[in-house]
Structure 1
Amino acid sequence: MTEITAASKKKDTSILGKNPVLLVIDVQHDFMDSDGAVPCPATSVSGPQEVIQNVHRLVNAAKISKIPTIFTREIHRPSMIDMGRELDGDEPRHCLDETKGPVIMEGLGADKLEENQYLVPKRRYSAFIGTDLTFLLNAFKADTLVLTGAATNVCVHYTGADAHQYDYRIKVVEEATAGTSPEAHNAALQALEYLQHGALVHMDEVVEAMKAFKRPKE
């Protein structure tokens, strides 16, 4: 990022709101591996591996503070009957069931969910389309969604845009996202910041906010 940087922002002491939820969006082999179907090498850090490490830090911090974590997983039938218009652009077929592609990266805990952790399969870029995400968010009384994952310019962007239109506060952890190209990654981050001033946040401030988080008494 050049024009808008999370590090340059004044610290927001209410960054997580009253009822935050961490969204780990499609941190899967087809996006995070260099030989994946839709690799996402463009990051604001050293590369996808550091993004995965940062996501892991956030998952751990959320677990300690009992902040709900939702892993989303894009997955399609091998016949691709449920892929819709996803192949009309630059993307090849991806995240086909019974392949390694849709598997969430090992070590994040999505294969063995713990308390306050949930998995939401999805067929479209936005995690809101055709899923039970809104049911979970309503149950949590969520007001703030902390966005991480891939691709910054695709599923993170469209999930963030829909969250905005559903009136959630969005916080996009810049160092915990990966895009398909530097230009697309940066443009998506700026587009989300355009929707909500203060949407872009810095990794360390989010971890510290999670450590200090105390859910308000009802």
Structure 2
Amino acid sequence: MADEGKADNVDNGVSVALVMIDVLDAFFAPGKPAYYPDSVKVLDPCRELLAKARERRRLIVHAVERHRPGLADFEHKKIPVHCEIGDDQSPYVAGFEPLDTPNEVEVPKRRYSAFYATDLDLMLREQGVKTLVIAGVKTNVCVRATVQDAFAAGYEILLVKEATNSNRPHLAEASLEDIDRYFGSVVTLEQALERL
């Protein structure tokens, strides 16, 4: 008998979820305000993680920037307006769109962290998730903020080194060092695929 409240097509036998952060045209398409050329280096590793998570029927969280057009947003006091709902920056990079299945969910965020003012923590706990495999951009901004909040909430964190980067490589490297020392584990793609 299936557990009450758990979807039959989500593998809850292992308490691991994949969290993909901001795999959107805004960061990966040339000409967009948040684009930087090295961003595309994370796409192949992210594809491998997504394929493995889908194959294993893991919970997959697509945490994405979604700002309300025409309304004030505190984040935009520091950085240019981007990822407004319905604009040309908000679409997913082709092939990274969530599938229409219960184990792939979009978590819209209006701040850097995927945990802040979202239902992510509640959803993960209800599914029995204890470990997060994290990938996406930018290492020193949204990825780091999400990792820090995940740590504060008590999750084991596996940040995939090949699947994250930044337009400020020195800050990305410093963030990886800090994350590995204080918040979780920075792992290789191979190690992450074994855990998924």
Normalising by structure 1, what TM-score? Answer: 0.78
Q: Judging changes above 3 Å, is the alpha-carbon distance between structure 1 residues 36 and 178 closer, same or farther for their aligned structure 2 residues?
A: farther
User: Is it true that 1:108 corresponds to 2:96 in the alignment?
Assistant: yes
Alignment RMSD: 1.8
Q: Partners in 2 of 1:87 and 1:122 — Cα distance?
A: 13
Decide whether aligned partners of structure 1 residues 80 and 181 sit closer, same or farther in structure 2, where only a CA change above 3 A counts.
Answer: farther
Q: Does 1:124 align with 2:124?
A: no
Aligned residue in 2 for 1:5: none
What is the alpha-carbon distance in structure 2 between the residues aligned to residue 61 and residue 115 of structure 1? 17
CA contact (8 A) 1:96 1:102 kept: yes
Q: Deviations over 1:39-85 (max 9, x none)?
A: 244xxxxx33231121111111011112111001111112142x21x
C-alpha distance after superposition, 1:103-143 (max 9, x if no partner): 12110232x33341111111111111111111210111111
Structure 1 residue aligned with 2:178: 191
Stretches of structure 2 that go unaligned for 5 or more consecutive residues are 1-13
Indicate the percent of aligned positions where both proteins have the same amino acid: 30
**Equivalent residue, structure 1, for 2:4:** none
Q: Which stretch has the larger CA shift, 124-133 or 113-122?
A: 113-122
Of the candidates 58, 61, 64, which is equivalent to residue 73 of structure 1?
64
Residues 1:179 and 1:113: Cα distance change in structure 2 (over 3 Å): farther
Q: Which one of the candidate residues 88, 93, 96 is aligned to 2:77?
A: 88
SS at match of 1:174: strand
**Unaligned stretches of 5+ in structure 1?**
1-17, 42-46, 211-218
Provide the TM-score with structure 2 as the length reference.
0.86
Compare relative contact order (CA 8 Å, sep 6+) and give the higher one, 1 or 2: 1
Aligned length: 184
What secondary structure does 1:188 align onto? helix
Alpha-carbon separation, structure 2, partners of 1:117 and 1:65: 12
Quick one: distance in 2 between partners of 1:191 and 1:164? 12
Aligned to 1:203: 189
